[in-house]
Chains A and B, each alone.
Chain A
Amino acid sequence: MPGISLDNVVKTFGTDDGSAPAVRGVSLAIEEGEFVVLLGPSGCGKTTLLRMINRLIEPTSGQIFIGDREVRDFPVTDLRRHIGYVIQQVGLFPHMTVAQNVATVPRLLGWKKQRTRERTRELLELVALPPGEYLDRYPRQLSGGQQQRVGIARAMAADPQIMLMDEPFGAIDAITRSDLQQELLRIQRKVGKTVVFVTHDVEEALLLADRIAVMRTGELVQYDTPLALLSHPVDDFVRELLGSQDVLRRLSLLEITALMEQESGMAGTTQVPAGTSAREALSLLLGTGADRATVVDPQGRPLGTLTLDRILREARAAPPAPG
């Protein structure tokens, strides 16, 4: 069923005549299985737009469809039980164990205990928290990153086709955030949900999105793939939003196997999995002080060697930022 389409959606808060609409007539089509990032500075209306999809906020005018049904046609609790929702502050229930948190929606849907238990274990494995160790823990016993892993597992519990994620990694330290982004990409490759993901972090948007919807002051400015946005920004706002640190951004779109050398005299002691971006490999090498790393496949077999020098040469070779 579900792609999501928004048709001329407007949201005005308050009743004052003078109040500016938070969302001004946004139309957007999201394909089934697509990962769309709503990107923009704070106050641009991206979170409001997201929250209108699961009706935590009702639009002032316009329509939102899931598949070919308007969201208002569903009973609101039904709608929400079939849409995964992840927020920045996670919002785990502190009086429930990890297992109980994850089982929230299956219980609401009246799943059998056995099925819920199996699904909970499966999900914890999916988000890389060994169930034996984590099922019976309480949220306060987890780190911020682990809590958000549980948050994601909880949102996916009833296998919703649609996931709404509101800056899920915004409050998490940079290293953990990068891990979680990779993890999310891995999960998305596996499960292929329709994801709408809000962020103000350009790097994150470029890394995760199939398509990015750039928003400013309640309007949709440009809706395109990351590469198209980088190469053909429609105006100065988009250019500036995406343009700074352009070199690093190009590196983040570059996969390391493209840069590695297959024959090498000396293997690196640091290992990086194939599929890592050149940007990450760069920060890893700069962080460890190593001058080279061994690129390994998922089974840990070496594929080749990546040198710091090669990445830096690639960075210098990249054309300067436009404008």
Chain B
Amino acid sequence: MDVNGLLRALDGAVQLVRSDPADFIAHLQTHLELSGLALLMGVGLCFPLGVLASRSRWVSLYALNAFGIARAVPSVAILFLAYPFLGLGFQPALLALAVLACPPVLINTNVAFRAVDPAIREAAYGMGLTTVQVLSKIELPLALPVVLAGVRTAAVEVIASATLATFIGAGGLGDFINSGLSNLDTSLLLEGALPVALLTLTAEIVLGGLEMWSRQAAGVPRG
């Protein structure tokens, strides 16, 4: 496709959004809900699990291996694996995406908490901080940058993979991409693909910024 063709397709995409903004916004909203909820579920499950894994050999062995295997399965396969058990629609897609969000969060949380200098922990306990205080006031601020890096990876993966949710009828921006592809309609394809690209970029930038802030707060401005 030449440049003019691409510009026409872009223009077409803008026209599509303008002609039915409600439809576009509904798809965008589904996409955001799917990704946001999946990320929340992934972090909600895997952050605590990662902290546990950092202190227990058993949790670490089983959880990390289980999600390690999950990570090896392509995201589209996870979506289709969810289908026979959970049927079609929003919920199975959400679950599959949540599973997808897990490995980076789990792995990074585990590594981040393990990386806290044992001397710092010993000093903290030795001064009479409670377990909860050591975790929240000492370990968490120090582990946060690496945890957030995991969340960032997970967010980008989930937003991108949420486009596949269309295949099990969960909607989202993937609908546009899918019909655009099957109808050879580049404008329709772009109506889905461009917002997805913008969303992943935004997630990358926002979470990257948070990560940098947390690095400053942890007293490790570089690296």
Cβ-based interface call for A37 (8 A): no
Question: In chain A, residues 62-109, which have Cβ atoms closer than 8 Å to a Cβ of chain B?
Answer: 76-82, 85, 87-96, 104-105, 108
When chains A and B are docked, how far (Å) is the Cα of A95 from the Cα of B215? 9
Cβ-based interface call for A227 (8 A): no
When chains A and B are docked, how far (Å) is the Cα of A179 from the Cα of B75? 61
Cβ-based interface call for B7 (8 A): no
Classify chain B: how many residues form its interface, as a range: 20 to 34
| B128 A80 Cβ-Cβ under 8 A | yes
| A94 B127 Cβ-Cβ under 8 A | no
Q: Which of A80, A95, A96 contacts B126 (CB 8 A)?
A: A80
Nearest residue, chain A, Cβ from B142: A95
| A90 B141 Cβ-Cβ under 8 A | no
| B125 A56 Cβ-Cβ under 8 A | yes
Residues of B with C-beta under 8 A to A56: 122, 125-126
A residues with a Cβ closer than 8 A to B are 54, 56, 76-82, 85, 87-96, 104-105, 108, 138-140, 151, 154-155, 164
| B220 A87 Cβ-Cβ under 8 A | no
| A87 B219 Cβ-Cβ under 8 A | no
Query: A95-B219, A140-B219 known; A90 and B119 CB under 8 Å?
Result: yes
| A94 B142 Cβ-Cβ under 8 A | yes
When chains A and B are docked, how far (Å) is the Cα of A154 from the Cα of B128? 12
| A105 B119 Cβ-Cβ under 8 A | no
| B123 A85 Cβ-Cβ under 8 A | yes
When chains A and B are docked, how far (Å) is the Cα of A82 from the Cα of B219? 28
When chains A and B are docked, how far (Å) is the Cα of A15 from the Cα of B138? 32
Q: B212 CB to closest chain A CB, in angstroms?
A: 14
Interchain residue pairs with CB less than 8 A apart (19): A76-B128, A82-B128, A85-B123, A85-B126, A87-B126, A89-B119, A91-B119, A91-B121, A94-B120, A94-B218, A94-B219, A95-B218, A95-B219, A96-B219, A104-B127, A108-B128, A108-B129, A139-B219, A151-B123
Query: A87-B119, A138-B219, A140-B219 known; A93 and B124 CB under 8 Å?
Result: yes
| A54 B126 Cβ-Cβ under 8 A | yes
| B127 A108 Cβ-Cβ under 8 A | yes
Query: A91-B119, A91-B123 known; A81 and B128 CB under 8 Å?
Result: yes
Residues of A with C-beta under 8 A to B128: 76-82, 105, 108
Q: Which of A79, A82, A87, A108 contacts B122 (CB 8 A)?
A: A87
A-B CB proximity, top 7 nearest: A91-B123, A80-B128, A89-B119, A81-B128, A85-B126, A91-B119, A94-B219
Nearest residue, chain A, Cβ from B141: A95
Residues of B with C-beta under 8 A to A138: 219
Residues of A with C-beta under 8 A to B2: none
Query: A77-B130, A138-B219, A140-B219 known; A93 and B120 CB under 8 Å?
Result: yes
When chains A and B are docked, how far (Å) is the Cα of A78 from the Cα of B127? 9
Question: In chain B, residues 91-109, which have Cβ atoms closer than 8 Å to a Cβ of chain A?
Answer: none
| A89 B117 Cβ-Cβ under 8 A | yes
Cβ-based interface call for B217 (8 A): yes
Q: Which of A54, A77, A139 contacts B129 (CB 8 A)?
A: A77
When chains A and B are docked, how far (Å) is the Cα of A90 from the Cα of B126? 12
Residues of B with C-beta under 8 A to A139: 219
When chains A and B are docked, how far (Å) is the Cα of A104 from the Cα of B130? 12
When chains A and B are docked, how far (Å) is the Cα of A78 from the Cα of B126? 11
Q: B112 CB to closest chain A CB, in angstroms?
A: 13
When chains A and B are docked, how far (Å) is the Cα of A77 from the Cα of B120? 17
Residues of A with C-beta under 8 A to B219: 94-96, 138-140
When chains A and B are docked, how far (Å) is the Cα of A36 from the Cα of B126? 19
When chains A and B are docked, how far (Å) is the Cα of A89 from the Cα of B130? 21
Residues of B with C-beta under 8 A to A79: 128
Residues of A with C-beta under 8 A to B125: 56, 80
When chains A and B are docked, how far (Å) is the Cα of A90 from the Cα of B220? 18
User: 1/0 per position for B197-223, CB-CB distance to A under 8 A?
Assistant: 000000000000000000001111000
When chains A and B are docked, how far (Å) is the Cα of A248 from the Cα of B130? 46
Nearest residue, chain A, Cβ from B215: A95
When chains A and B are docked, how far (Å) is the Cα of A94 from the Cα of B142? 8
When chains A and B are docked, how far (Å) is the Cα of A94 from the Cα of B119? 11
